[in-house]
Amino acid sequence: MAKEIERKFLVDAEKWENVKPLNYEIYKQGYLCIKDDLIIRIRQTPKKSFLTIKSANKGFSRDEYEYEIPENDAAELIKNIAGKKIVKKRYKINFSGKLWEVDEFLEDNAGLIIAEIELNSEEEKFEIPNWVFIEVTGDERYYNSFISKYPYSKWQK
């Protein structure tokens, strides 16, 4: 069984503009199942496509199973079966010896930028970049599955 140990942070858009890399990949995700204790997602990246099954969070951790699937299958599942979808730019940036993945959401979630860091344990220490400002780990509003159903553009500011 694979474990995902992840922390999430909101990104200061102005500070991010000064450090963001030029390179990014477009990710498309469609959700086949969104329940409190189970998420089943299809993800398309420019290079590979995946079926991912995630359990409910326990602290910063959850069980995660991910399987590569044919690109055509992923495209069809996202287009024809997945009811809820998101599109985002994924940036990868190394900071203080750790890989950070920063997602700039597009379409109905434009304006939302979230940084994630995967850890080896919940107790692992890491340095936080100055372009992140609020931790949202555990706040379900910032889960990709949530914003696929309740787009950021529809939130009351």
How many angstroms separate the CA atoms of 135 and 16, rounded? 16
Count of beta carbons in the 10 Å neighbourhood of residue 5: 17
For residue 88, give both structure tokens. 């985002």
Q: Name the active-site residue from 31, 142, 143, 152.
A: 31
User: In the block, which residue shows the tokens 């409910």?
Assistant: 56
For residue 154, give both structure tokens. 């529809």
User: In the block, which residue shows the tokens 């730019």?
Assistant: 89
For residue 91, give both structure tokens. 């940036």
Residue 121 φ then ψ, to 5°:
-155, 160
Catalytic (active site) residue 31: yes
Q: Let me know: does 11 contact 133? Beta carbons within 8 Å.
A: yes
Q: Which residues are catalytic?
A: 31
